[in-house]
């Protein structure tokens, strides 16, 4: 199909394959000439990295929504959050674009999903007797600070600096943006109607709290506060001396832990992009190609097929290697190392669609079979299946980790970290470990990627993303479990 791209105001046409991405013969994303014109960057012979100020003209997610504004006399913040139809500024869609969107080509949380989140959070804030919530959002891709909560409550991706969100149960929310750029786009794209440019975050927070609460004391819930610079937090402590500061991360974690049906569709879409990229990159991997060319291709594929963010890592070399130079178990940022025949490659392929992350971890070998690696991957596949088979509502994290541990030992290996982590709007939500007491629910999403080691200390990494259903865990990746020889 043909898509339209705008680069610095110039319209560029680009062909994208509409074949089933799960089919191996689909290959890469079709004609890349339009994207090359938009990005003007070709990394090696086959590696595309889209850069520059470009965007799909249908990326405005409000295109797919038909919303009628609600009229309400209540000044609750759920009624005052900006609806997407208020902010639509893009040119009208033609019939082809409308049909594409109606078929689910572009997805985004709906008005109903927004209202569901607002309603549940309001109830929790009242139950916890919170006068306000202060939510921090930043650009971190991999973080345990919970910055995905900002996206959860605004549907806005922070792409520069960090922004703040103040929420109240009886009045409208306020977003504070650090730059003209983010202020402009948050005003257009977020759910928040009151977006303010702020160069003095701390004093503005104190001022707004005093205006809204109208007393010199209260209870302020803090979300992802670890992403706030210490100097700002110190200012809040000094100027809100009669306020109680409450750790509200557990509240948001609880609300986000079980994904709604809409969230599950976004997670599934991210999985489709990741799976398709793994199929496509197989045509790029060959002796002579450098690590950064492989990762560059994945980056370009992900962004060119609708992903908002990517996080792709790689390691390569002979497997199992020598005593002095063992195969690098865990992947890292790409180097200029050149792939050689007989190499093993570990790929951690990760992309986010509308904020929701998916990850696939696979090993491949180049040019010839590797029986040593096959013994590891066969055991890893069984280990993952044993753990996933125990991932049911009501089970604790330690339950399925114990299942993986027993299976790995039965296969002659030892289970070692990293074992995986829960996932959603944060790529790295709580880590999987036996100490985690989280109880699984229907809708919980997780990346299960155990590492196993043999008696010599050689280790291998493998896994994918799952969603917990009513009775079992369902894979969000459709890539098979074979150790590929390329």
Q: Given pLDDT bands bounded at 50, 70 and 90, which one contains residue 106?
A: low
pLDDT tens track for 448-473 = 999 999 999 999 999 999 999 999 99
Greater confidence (279 vs 30) lies with: 279
What's the pLDDT at 21?
37
What's the pLDDT at 144?
62
List C-alpha distances in Å: 369 to 62, 319, 375.
49, 11, 12
Same domain (yes/no): 116, 223: yes
What's the pLDDT at 469?
96
Stretch 182-206: mean pLDDT: 95
Q: Where are the beta strands (DSSP E) in 202-260?
A: 218-223, 243-247
3-state SS, one letter per residue, for 380-416: HHHHHHHHHHCCCCCCEHHHHHHHHHHHHHHCCCEEE
In a domain, 436, yes or no: yes
pLDDT tens track for 340-358 = 999 999 999 999 999 999 9
Residues 6+ apart with CB under 8 A from 342: 318, 365, 366, 367, 368, 370
Does residue 242 carry a pLDDT above 50?
A: yes
Q: Which of 209, 227, 257 is the last residue of a domain?
A: 257
In a domain, 87, yes or no: no
List C-alpha distances in Å: 412 to 154, 351, 379, 420, 433.
48, 33, 8, 21, 21
Stretch 53-69: mean pLDDT: 32
What's the pLDDT at 22?
37
* Lowest-confidence pick of 93-102, 153-162, 181-190, 334-343: 93-102
Q: Given pLDDT bands bounded at 50, 70 and 90, which one contains residue 57?
A: very low
pLDDT tens track for 10-46 = 443 344 333 333 333 333 333 333 343 333 333 333 3
Any idea what the CATH number is for the domain that residue 182 is in?
A: 3.40.350.10
Same domain (yes/no): 238, 315: no
* Lowest-confidence pick of 195-199, 262-266, 433-437: 433-437
Same domain (yes/no): 206, 265: no
Same domain (yes/no): 201, 287: no
Say if CB 184 and CB 218 are below 8 A apart.
Answer: no
Average pLDDT of the chain, as a whole number: 82
In a domain, 185, yes or no: yes
Which domain, by its residues, includes 22? 2-56
Greater confidence (86 vs 105) lies with: 105
User: How many whole angstroms separate alpha carbon 184 and alpha carbon 182?
Assistant: 5
Q: Given pLDDT bands bounded at 50, 70 and 90, which one contains residue 100?
A: very low
**Strand, coil or helix: what is 460?**
strand
Q: Given pLDDT bands bounded at 50, 70 and 90, which one contains residue 317?
A: very high
- How many structural domains comprise the chain? 3
DSSP 2: E
In a domain, 149, yes or no: yes
Same domain (yes/no): 206, 337: no
Same domain (yes/no): 198, 210: yes
Any idea what the CATH number is for the domain that residue 479 is in?
A: 3.90.230.10
In a domain, 86, yes or no: no
Q: Which of 196, 230, 257 is the last residue of a domain?
A: 257
What's the pLDDT at 60?
34
Does residue 396 carry a pLDDT above 70?
A: yes
Q: Is 182 exposed, middle or buried (0-12, 13-18, 19+ CB in 10 A)?
A: buried
What's the pLDDT at 437?
83
Stretch 109-124: mean pLDDT: 95
Helix (H) or strand (E) holding 125: helix 111-127
Same domain (yes/no): 470, 392: yes
DSSP string, 49-79: ---SSEEETT--GGGG--------S---HHH
What share of the chain has pLDDT > 90, as a percent? Answer: 69
Nearest alpha-carbon partner for 174 in 105, 250, 81, 264: 81
Same domain (yes/no): 19, 69: no
Same domain (yes/no): 389, 432: yes
Same domain (yes/no): 236, 384: no
Stretch 379-389: mean pLDDT: 97
Say if CB 221 and CB 125 are below 8 A apart.
Answer: yes
Nearest alpha-carbon partner for 36 in 1, 10, 12, 8: 12
Does residue 89 carry a pLDDT above 80?
A: no
Nearest alpha-carbon partner for 65 in 88, 82, 81: 88
What's the pLDDT at 434?
87
**Strand, coil or helix: what is 363?**
strand
In a domain, 409, yes or no: yes
Same domain (yes/no): 372, 420: yes
Stretch 411-426: mean pLDDT: 96
Q: Given pLDDT bands bounded at 50, 70 and 90, which one contains residue 147?
A: confident
In a domain, 210, yes or no: yes
Same domain (yes/no): 69, 15: no
Does residue 184 carry a pLDDT above 90?
A: yes
In a domain, 481, yes or no: yes
Q: Which of 257, 287, 311 is the last residue of a domain?
A: 257
DSSP string, 264-307: HHHHHHHHHHHHHHHHHHTTT--TT-BHHHHHHHHHHHHHHTT-
Q: What is the reported pTM?
A: 0.79
């Amino acid at each position: 199909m043909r898509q339209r791209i705008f680069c610095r105001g110039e319209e560029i046409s680009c062909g994208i394959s509409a074949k089933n991405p799960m089919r191996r013969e689909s290959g890469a994303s079709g004609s890349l000439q339009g994207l090359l014109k938009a990005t003007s960057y070709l990394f090696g012979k086959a590696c595309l990295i889209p850069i520059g100020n470009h965007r799909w003209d249908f990326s405005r997610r409000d295109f797919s929504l038909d919303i009628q504004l609600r009229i309400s006399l209540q000044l609750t913040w759920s009624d005052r959050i900006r609806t997407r139809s208020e902010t639509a500024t893009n040119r009208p869609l033609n019939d082809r674009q409308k049909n594409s969107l109606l078929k689910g080509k572009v997805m985004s949380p709906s008005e109903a999903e927004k209202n569901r989140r607002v309603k549940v959070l309001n109830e929790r804030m009242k139950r916890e007797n919170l006068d306000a919530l202060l939510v921090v959002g930043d650009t971190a891709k991999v973080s345990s600070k919970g910055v995905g909560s900002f996206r959860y409550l605004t549907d806005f991706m922070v792409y520069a600096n960090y922004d703040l969100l103040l929420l109240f149960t009886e009045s409208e929310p306020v977003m504070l943006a650090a730059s003209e750029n983010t202020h402009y786009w948050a005003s257009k794209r977020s759910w928040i109607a009151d977006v303010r440019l702020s160069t003095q975050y701390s004093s503005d927070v104190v001022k707004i709290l005093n205006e809204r609460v109208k007393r010199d004391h209260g209870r302020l819930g803090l979300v992802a506060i670890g992403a706030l610079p210490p100097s700002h937090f110190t200012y809040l402590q000094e100027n809100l001396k009669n306020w109680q500061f409450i750790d509200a991360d557990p509240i948001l974690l609880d609300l986000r832990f079980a994904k709604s049906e809409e969230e599950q569709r976004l997670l599934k879409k991210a999985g489709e992009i990741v799976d398709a990229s793994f199929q496509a990159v197989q045509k790029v991997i060959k002796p002579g190609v450098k690590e950064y060319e492989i990762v560059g291709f994945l980056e370009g594929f992900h962004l060119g097929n609708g992903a908002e963010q990517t996080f792709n890592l790689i390691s390569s070399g002979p497997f199992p290697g020598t005593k002095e130079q063992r195969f690098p178990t865990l992947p890292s940022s790409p180097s200029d190392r050149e792939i050689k025949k007989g190499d093993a490659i570990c790929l951690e392929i990760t992309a986010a669609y509308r904020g929701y992350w998916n990850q696939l971890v696979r090993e491949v070998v180049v040019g010839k079979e590797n029986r040593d690696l096959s013994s590891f991957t066969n055991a890893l596949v069984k280990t993952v299946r044993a753990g996933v088979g125990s991932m049911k509502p009501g089970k604790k994290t330690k339950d399925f980790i114990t299942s993986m541990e027993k299976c790995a030992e039965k296969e002659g290996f030892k289970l070692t970290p990293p074992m995986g982590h829960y996932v959603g709007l944060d790529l790295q939500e709580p880590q999987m470990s036996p100490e985690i007491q989280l109880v699984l629910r229907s809708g919980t999403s997780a990346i299960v990627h155990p590492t196993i080691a043999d008696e010599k200390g050689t280790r291998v990494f493998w896994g994918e993303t799952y969603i917990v259903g009513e009775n079992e865990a369902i894979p969000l990746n459709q890539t098979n479990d074979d150790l590929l020889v390329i």
